[in-house]
Amino acid sequence: MGFNKKTIKDISLTGKRVLLRADYNVPDIAGKITDDFRIKQSIPTLEYILKQKPNGLIIMSHMGRPKGFDKTLSLQPVARHLSQLLGRKVFFVPDCVGEEVKSIASRLKPTDILLLENLRFYPGEEENETQLAKNLVDSTSAEIFVQDGFGVVHRAHASTVAITKLLPSVAGLLLEKEVETITKVMKSPNHPLVAIIGGAKIKDKIEVLHCLIDLADCVAIGGAMANNFLKIEGYETGSSLYDKEDLRLTKDILAKVKNKACRQPFSFLLPVDAIVSKNINGRAPIRIVDLSSRSLAEIEAYPKIPKRDTYTVGKAEAIFDIGPVSSGLIAGAVELAKTVIWNGTMGVTETKGINGAQAPFSNGTRTIAEAIIGPSNKHLSKAFSLVGGGDTVGYIEAEGLTEDFSHVSTGGGASLELMAGKELPGIEALPNK
C-alpha cells in the first residue's frame, strides 16, 4: 500500500537546479505570518534537498485568490518567516517569471534558497497553462521538479500538472507522508473507527461523508452542517446557518445511515443540545438549549412545567456550537475508538471570549480535542488520529496541540478528495516508481 510515485529519495539531486512546489498559502496579517504550520511541515523536504548539495533550490507557491498583482498577498513575509525557521537566508524575488527572476536565479550559489512571488498573480497558473510552466522553467533554469504542496495537488494547475511535462518530476517527503497516511487510514483502519465531521456545507464533504458512513463504526456531525440534519429531523434552528439546497443531500445521507444501522451496529451522532446566542461576536449572552430530552429545561423549571422557549432555539437565536451533552457523547465514542478521523470544528472557534473568558463557542471542539489526545500518562492507549480541514488545524495549531495528534494534514480539499478515493491530478502527473 506504499506510495507508488518516484520521490526525491529515488533520484540524485547533487549539482541539479531544483524547482519545488510548496503550499505556503498561510494566514498573513499586515505582513506577519499568524499560522506557520504548513511552512514548518515543508522543512524536512527542504533540508533533505539541501543535504544533497543541489545547484540552488527555488521554491514556488501561491497565497489567497488574487485578481492580478496584489501586494497584500505577496509571499515576501513567507520568505522572511522561512529564513527564521531555517536559520539561513531565503532570497525573495517579486515575480515568478521574467528577466528579474532569471537574473537572481543565475547568481544563486549551490545551496542557496530562492522563493518566487505568488504564482496566482498570473491567470495561467489556475488555467494549467503550458506557456507559464515553460516560463517558470526558463526563468529559473530548473532541471528537476519536486511536488511537495499536498494542499494543491487536487488542482490541475500550471505548477502541479503542466510543469511535470517539462521536467523530470518527483514527490517531496511531505507529499509522500500525507498520501501514505491518509490512504492507509481509509483502506485498512483499526476498528472501532470514529469519524467526526464539522464545517459549514454538506456538499463540500458529501463524497467523503458517504465513504465514512460505509467505513466507520460511528459518525458524529457538528458545526453548521449539523443544522441541515436538525432541520430534516424537525427541530427549530432559529436563524442558524443552513443550506436549503443541501436538504436533499441531507435526506439521502440519513436514508443511508438508517439502512446501515438496520444491517449492523452503527452510530450516527447528531447534536442533542446546542449553544445558542443572538450574536456571533460573543458579546451577547449564550445559553444551552436541550434539543431532544428537555431534561435541562425541566430541572431548571422544577416544580413548574418548562416554557417552550427554554428548550427551543428562538427565532432571533442561532446555534454556534454543540452542547456539553453532545460533546460528551462524541468524547465517549472517541475513548472506545482505535482510529479517529476528524475534519471540521464543532462550533465558531474564531470567536474570542471577552474579559478573559474562554472562547464561548469552542467548548465542543475543545472537549473532542481533549478526548482524542487522552491523558498524558496514557499515550500508548490513544487512538490513531487523523486531523484535517483548515478550521480544525487552525484551532489545534493555535492551542499548541499539533504534536499530540498522530497526523495533522496540511491539505483541506486535497485530504477530503483523497479520503473519498479520488485521483488527484498533481499526484497522477508524477511518474511511478
Cis ω before 123 (30° cut-off from 0)? no
Residues 6+ apart with CB under 8 A from 13: 49, 52, 53, 54, 144
For residue 200, report the phi and psi dihedrals to the nearest 5 degrees: -100, -50
Query: Comparing C-alpha atoms, which of 283, 290, 368, 278 is closest to residue 320?
Result: 278
Residues 6+ apart with CB under 8 A from 360: 275, 277, 282, 286, 320, 321, 351, 353
> In this structure, are residues 228 and 247 in contact, taking their beta carbons and an 8 Å threshold?
yes
Query: Annotated catalytic residue: which of 201, 203, 287, 294?
Result: 201
For residue 205, report the phi and psi dihedrals to the nearest 5 degrees: -130, 15
For residue 94, report the phi and psi dihedrals to the nearest 5 degrees: -80, 40
Identify whether 155 is a catalytic site residue: no
Query: Annotated catalytic residue: which of 238, 282, 390, 426?
Result: 390
Query: Annotated catalytic residue: which of 16, 21, 38, 382?
Result: 38
Identify whether 172 is a catalytic site residue: no
For residue 147, report the phi and psi dihedrals to the nearest 5 degrees: -95, 115
Burial of 259 (0-12, 13-18, 19+ CB in 10 A): exposed
What cell numbers appear for 77 in the block?
Answer: 513575509
The sign of the torsion formed by the CA atoms of 21, 26, 32, 36 equals negative
Identify whether 201 is a catalytic site residue: yes
Identify whether 413 is a catalytic site residue: yes
The β-bridge partners of 195 are: 219, 341
The residues assigned a catalytic role are 38, 201, 390, 413
